[in-house]
Every structure is written in structure tokens, then in C-alpha cells.
Structure 1
Amino acid sequence: MAQPIRKMRYYLMDEICIHNKKEDCWIVIYRNVFDLTPMIKDRLDHWNCSMDYLVAHAGKDLTHLFHENGEPRTEISLSTGRPRVLFPPILEVAISEFAKTKHAMWSQDPFYHIGRVTRRPRRIRLINTLTAKVQHMNVCDEDSIYDIQEKYKQRFNHHAGSYEWRKFSNGAKCCGVLNLNGTLDENGLTDDEDCDVELPPPSIWLYYTDDLTIA
């Protein structure tokens, strides 16, 4: 079996919004996903109200507060007549050098950048031929079959690797093994996003291989 290729990770907003607390803080800027948890943990002994404000926005999309290059948007203060940032927590930094990239704002720091928001969520149907259970699942358009397999394993079946994942084509007459490194589209599991009629989601068939050692 071909080995999966590691690449950029993509996320659904549903996956991001649950990272919404001090112990687990993600934010989004122009579809870029940042995990600010290391900075927050590093600042626990140097806390302030601006850090509280940052945590209050955890799990949210803050694109409207930044320029596309990650620079913070500003406005003119009515009291001083000078520019001020719209989102003050951008001025906060980690204390320890191991928790940041030197001289970089966290909105531009590759240390915190963990992936991208998907350009389009996809709904698929997974059919377990052993249990006859049908599971619907939302995934990212950019996800490879391996990525989908890993998400399915985490959410529904820890033994997902003990199944061979297949597709049917030519009117369900031809069965083919899926390329783990390919996306849904690259495996021929397409949908018509411009279609006015809601079509059934693509189906993936799971065939048990009688090997529970694969996880």
C-alpha cells in the first residue's frame, strides 16, 4: 500500500471553533489557522487584560481586524489623533524565545501557523460493509483519502486502518481501491458544486481486512 504524503493541513470552521479557551486557543486570519496556545501558556505568569481579550476571541475568524499580510488594521484615535490597532492583543508576545519566532508578530509567525481553512467543505458517505453502518461526514475539499481516514478513525472507528477503502464506478459495476494520497476529486469522487439540484454525496465503501493490528 502506498505511504501517505504529509502536506499542509486543512480544517473546517467546525473543527476550529472548538479550540476556544485559554488551554486551547486557535484563531483564523485570511484562512490561515494559528494555534496561539504556546504563547498563552508562556504568558500565564505575565497576564493582563489584553490577554483576556485575546482568549475571548479564541476559535473565531479575525480576518476583519487584519490586512492580508498579517499586519493589524488601525484607526485614528479620537483622543490622541494617532493611529491605534483595532485588535490590541496583536501587541502581545511570548516571553520565552522557544515559544515564538524572534521579531515576528504572532499573526505573521510561522511558529503558530498550523494550517488553512478549507476552501469548500465536502459531505461524504462512508459505508461499512462489515457492520452495514452508514456514516455521513463533513471533510475538507483538499483532504486526501488518508486525511479522511485519519479523521474517521478519530471520530467514529479506531480500527479504520483495518479496512480497505474502495469506490465503485461505471454504474457500480467496477470496484477500485482508493489512492490514499489523492483527494476525493483525484479519486473520481466528485460533486458538482454549481449544480442547482442537491446530489447524493460521494460514497466510500469500507471492506474489513481481518487485521485489527492496523490502527
Structure 2
Amino acid sequence: MSRFYTAMEVREHAYDDDAYVSLNGKILDLTSLIRAYRANPRVAPLTKPLIQVAGTDISHWWDAETDDFKTCVDVNSGMRTYAMPLGRVPHMPTIYPDSKIDLSYETPWWKDPSYVVGALTSRTRRIRLVNTLTGDETTLEVCAEETLEQLLQERYLPVNAHARSYTWVRLDPEPRELDMSLTLEQNGIVDEADSFESLGLNADYYVPAIHLYYNDDLTEA
């Protein structure tokens, strides 16, 4: 898995030409599947349910016991079939003969690792990055599982193209350089949101800060 995603980031991919879904903690990019099916009028209708759920979590479709999508008994045939309230989707078999059946795939998309682009975070948290050179402060929502290197690469570089020219330091109270290969928690920056809420305070009552010190090295941009 290349990276972690927040639920908000998944919701940004809610279009027919940019469609992500989360399924059992994994993030699937179904854009190419939808594009391929829409190019064929015979099977294009099968993409409608996927477009409807793009940007959302579809784990409620899943049956943990069978490790597959949930099934039901078809009232007309008495046969067991997939329970899809929005309609059949690509790679899903039918009870009756159907011209929309596609036999060109080997693994259905919901079990095909090639569609997986990342993982859904189990928890988000906020962090303040204070640039001591410019005085700028950036507050980011990040995934608890992300290392500082991943945080820098995926979230802070778009804000500061020279982010790699800085040393990340925590002041608590003595300055200490942080390990970029570790997560915030592993670096001793504890998430206190639950404690604040238990006291009736806003989860963001206090957002911890990391201070960035410029290394005077323009070679890293």
C-alpha cells in the first residue's frame, strides 16, 4: 500500500472519472474499471452503482464470514445471489443469462490487489508545523499511522517545496530532533483528543506543534 488516506481525502474522489472507495480498510481506485466499462455500451450500465458510491465506504456490502460480498436469496428463483441494493456491478455474476456478463477478468475487482492504492486511516489527528525561518504556521490533518517522512512527502511538500531543507524539532520543553521514520506517537507526540473530549473540551483544544529549523541547504527542494 502506497499511503494512508483520511475519509475526507477519499470523499474528494467522488466522480465518474475519479472514483475511490474504501472497503475493509483498503482504498480502491476504480477509475480505470469504470472508464473501461463505460466505453462499452453493452456493460456501461453496470458502472452506475459504483459511480453512486464513489468517495464513500462500502464495507457494509461485505460479509466477514464468507470473505465476500453479502448474499441473499432471489425471491423469483430461490437461488442465492449477491445482495446489491443499488444494482449489479462489474465482475458480478448473474442467476439468469445476461448479455452484460463480462468474462474477460481473472479476479473480481473487490479482490484484485491491483486496484488498491492505499489504506484508510484508523484515526486522524491534527498537527501544527511552525516554520521558524518565515514564521509561517500550517495546521494539517494527518493519519495516525503515517511516519513523519510520509507526512512530509504527502502533505507538507505541496505547502513548502523546500520542506526537506528543514530539521523537524519538538520543544517539550527542551528541543529534540524528531525521527522522520517514526510516527507522531512513536516520537512521543501523544494524541490527547480523547482526554480532552472526556473533560468536555473540544478535541482540538490543544494541537501539538513541530518546529522546523532551516538547514541552509538549497540542494533539497
Q: TM-score range by the shorter chain?
A: 0.7 to 0.9
| 1:179 alignment partner in structure 2 | 179
Q: Determine helix, strand or coil for the equivalent of 1:156.
A: coil
Is 1:161 equivalent to 2:158 in the alignment?
Answer: no
| 1:114 alignment partner in structure 2 | 117
- The residue type equivalent to 1:214 in the other structure is E
Answer yes or no: is the 8 Å Cα contact 1:70–1:108 preserved in 2: no
Residue in structure 1 matching 2:3, options 2, 9, 14: 9
Instruction: Label 1:103 to 1:154 Cα distance change in 2 as closer, same or farther (>3 A).
Output: same
Instruction: Label 1:67 to 1:49 Cα distance change in 2 as closer, same or farther (>3 A).
Output: same
| 1:4 alignment partner in structure 2 | none
Is 1:52 equivalent to 2:41 in the alignment?
Answer: no
| 1:212 alignment partner in structure 2 | 218
Answer yes or no: is the 8 Å Cα contact 2:38–2:47 preserved in 1: no
Is 1:72 equivalent to 2:75 in the alignment?
Answer: no
- The residue type equivalent to 2:170 in the other structure is K
Residue in structure 2 matching 1:82, options 79, 84, 90: 79
Residue in structure 2 matching 1:126, options 120, 124, 129: 129
Q: Give TM-score scaled by structure 1 length.
A: 0.83
Is 1:135 equivalent to 2:131 in the alignment?
Answer: no
Is 1:35 equivalent to 2:29 in the alignment?
Answer: yes
Deviates more, 1:136-145 or 1:67-76: 67-76
Instruction: Label 1:92 to 1:155 Cα distance change in 2 as closer, same or farther (>3 A).
Output: farther
Instruction: Label 1:91 to 1:151 Cα distance change in 2 as closer, same or farther (>3 A).
Output: same
| 2:99 alignment partner in structure 1 | none
Aligned residue-pair number: 201
Q: Which runs of 5+ in 2 are unaligned?
A: 94-101
- Deviation at 1:128? 1.1
Question: Per-residue CA shift, 1:71-116, capped at 9, x if unaligned?
Answer: 11122223333223223215359x797xxxx532111111111221
- Deviation at 1:16? 0.8
Query: Which has the greater radius of gyration?
Result: 2
Instruction: Label 1:183 to 1:114 Cα distance change in 2 as closer, same or farther (>3 A).
Output: same
- Deviation at 1:29? 1.0
Answer yes or no: is the 8 Å Cα contact 2:38–2:44 preserved in 1: no
Percent of residue pairs identical: 29
Q: Which runs of 5+ in 1 are unaligned?
A: 1-6
How well do the aligned residues superpose, as a CA RMSD in angstroms? 2.4
Supply the distance in 2 between the matched residues of 1:108 and 1:214 (Cα, whole angstroms). Answer: 40
Supply the distance in 1 between the matched residues of 2:142 and 2:194 (Cα, whole angstroms). Answer: 18
| 1:3 alignment partner in structure 2 | none
